[in-house]
Amino acid sequence: MRGPDVPAKALDARALAALAANPGCRRRAILDGAGVNKAALADTLGAPSGFGQSQFALTRGNAFEAKVKADGGAELLRLVHEKLDPTATAPAHAHVPDLTASGPEGRTARTSLTLREATQPATAENDAENAEHAETDESAGNGVEGDLSDRGTGRWTLLDHPMLALDVAGSPAFLEPDAVVVHPDGSWTVVEIKSFPMLDGSADPAKVGAAARQAAVYVLALEQVAARLDPPPEVRHQVLLVCPKDFSNLPTGAAVDVRRQRAVTRRQLARLTHIEDIADTLPEGTCFSPLLPAEELTAAVESVPATYAPECLSACELAFHCRDRSRASGEVTTLGRSLRAELGGLTTVESVLAAARGETGDPDDPAVAALRRAAHLRTEALQTAATRRTEAERTATERPTLEPTGSVPR
């Protein structure tokens, strides 16, 4: 579908979070599932969006991430220990395994194997070390009854850019979080590194929310890996967000609870129509290659229904193209999802205006009744304003003109 000899564009967590936020858009589902480069597609359609990060922002983000992970991730692990697991053993010597493999499938398998090795053998080593400590304390007469549950002396493991797979509408999506940390107790934590500043311990709520939605996708993918282990380790729902502190380049961290974002993303992904079901409804030979002529490519894109909303402008490369089509057809979603939800079966601006004028619509429909009431109030307000304006004009006309009675003395 993306065309011969056209490389597939990987579906990252940011795109996946945007797709989950708009599960009714079949156009984005089929294009992302086929690995189509939507930025190149938008350029060919004549509606470039300029979507994405600037080169300066990417360079700054990469430099900050390298600083955070320097010295074997010592600073990153210190933040994880301080913000998420202060009762555990301090990460003096962390294990940073090599995750190199061929292709995304090979890297995914390598990551799963590394997570298994970092979790299960560490638990066995903990048990042996805890038993040794218990025997030492008992022989020293410290009154320890041999309770091993509070003695987490396992090692820390840092996975730098692991590869995870998540099933999305029947197609695997390969995701690459910034880092995953395995705690001494065997639990897993997602680390998200961003270059926007954290001022006085807080950051821009909109940016933090976007980072939380992105991290929630990684948590879902990690939970699928954990479910294949026996016993399954805990995937923590608190992720670590690492940002520059104040106006410096020093890293600081904050724990972010992503349970709500995880639940929403999981529910929305479950609602996505399977890609093969969408493909079956397309005409034979449909192709979305950016190398096609603009007319042919436009017809192919328009053959898949889209669900545009203003939120798409910050999340999708085809937003300007879909917005133009939505405005041309008078769709209510152009004005926002909340308004669309309140109007019920009225899907176009023309049908809304007709219902407000009393030309169409069921009077018992709450949306129609509210529209007619609003139209009546608007008419009354306009009549009142016109009456007041007429009275003001008449008063100004009838007011006598004062003639000067003499010169003003100096």
Same domain, 109 and 199: yes
Q: How many helices (H) and strands (E) does the chain have?
A: 14, 7
Comparison of pLDDT for 264 and 79, the residue scoring more? 79
H/E segment holding residue 242: strand 238-244
Give the domain-ending residue among 285, 307, 342: 342
The yes-or-no verdict on residue 130 having pLDDT over 50 is no
Residue 90 lies in a domain: yes
Report how far residue 131's alpha carbon sits from residue 124's, in angstroms, rounded to the nearest whole number.
11
- The pTM of this model reads 0.68
- Cβ-count burial 247-265 (b if 16+ within 10 Å, e if not): eeeebbbbebebeebbebb
Looking at 301, 321, 342, which one is the last position of a domain?
A: 342
Position with higher pLDDT, 125 vs 271? 271
User: What's the structural domain count of the chain?
Assistant: 2
Q: Is the pLDDT of residue 410 over 80?
A: no
265 and 278 share one domain: no
Percent of the chain with pLDDT over 90: 31
For residues 183-192, give the mean pLDDT. 94
| 146 belongs to a structural domain | no
Residue 150: per-residue pLDDT: 36
Same domain, yes or no, for 287 and 226?
Answer: no
Using the predicted structure, report yes or no on whether residue 149 has a pLDDT greater than 50: no
Residues 88 and 160 in one domain: yes
pLDDT tens, position by position, 362-387: 888 888 888 899 998 998 999 998 88
Q: How far apart (Å, rounded) are the C-alpha atoms in residues 134 and 229?
A: 29
Please give the span between the terminal C-alpha atoms of the chain, in angstroms, as a whole number. Answer: 89
Query: What's the pLDDT score for residue 112?
Result: 94
Closest C-alpha to 258, from 233, 234, 242, 235: 235
| DSSP label at residue 331 | B
Indicate whether 304 and 168 sit together in one domain.
no
- The sign of the dihedral angle between the CA atoms of 127, 128, 129, 134 is positive
Strand partners, 348: 331
Percent of the chain with pLDDT over 70: 87
Residue 114's pLDDT band (boundaries 50, 70, 90)?
A: very high
- Same domain flag for 43 and 161: no
- For residues 42 and 69, state if they share a domain: no
Q: Are residues 72 and 201 in the same domain?
A: yes
What is the tens place of the pLDDT at every residue in 43-85? 888 888 766 666 777 888 889 999 999 988 999 999 999 999 9
Residues 236 and 281 in one domain: no
3-state DSSP call for residue 51? coil
CA gap 198, 205 in Å, rounded? 10
Is 304 within a domain?
yes
Mean pLDDT of the chain, nearest integer: 82
Specify whether the CB–CB gap between 372 and 356 falls below 8 A.
yes
SS3 357: coil
* Residue 210 counted as domain residue: yes
Residue 97 lies in a domain: yes
**Among 1-5, 64-68, 100-104, whose mean pLDDT is lowest?**
1-5
**Residue showing tokens 């395994």:** 97
pLDDT tier, 256 (very low <50, low <70, confident <90, very high otherwise)? very high
Same-domain status, 287 and 263? no
Is the model more confident about 333 or about 125?
Answer: 333
Evaluate whether 29 touches 272 at the Cβ level (below 8 Å): yes
Comparing 8 with 294, the larger pLDDT belongs to 294
Residue 51 · residue 330 · CB < 8 Å: no
Domain boundary among 269, 301, 319: 269
Q: Which domain range does residue 316 map to?
A: 13-52+274-342
Of the two residues 191 and 201, the one the predictor is more confident about is 191
Q: What share of the chain is helix, strand, coil (3-state, %, to 5)?
A: 50, 10, 40
Label the pairing between strands 157-160 and 251-257: unpaired
pLDDT at 408: 55
Q: What is the pLDDT of residues 83-94, one digit of tens each?
A: 999 998 888 878
Asked if the structure places residue 371 within a domain, the reply is: no
Sign, CA dihedral 240-195-95-102, equals positive
Choose the weakest-confidence range: 18-22, 116-120, 339-343, 396-400: 396-400
Which pLDDT band, with edges at 50, 70 and 90, does 254 fall under? Answer: very high
Check pLDDT > 60 for residue 153: no
Q: Same structural domain for residues 34 and 59? A: no
Of 29-43, 96-110, 206-220, give the lowest mean pLDDT range.
Answer: 29-43
233: in domain? yes
Check residue 140 and give its pLDDT.
38
Could you tell me if residue 362 is inside a domain? no
Residues 41 and 177 grouped into a single domain? no
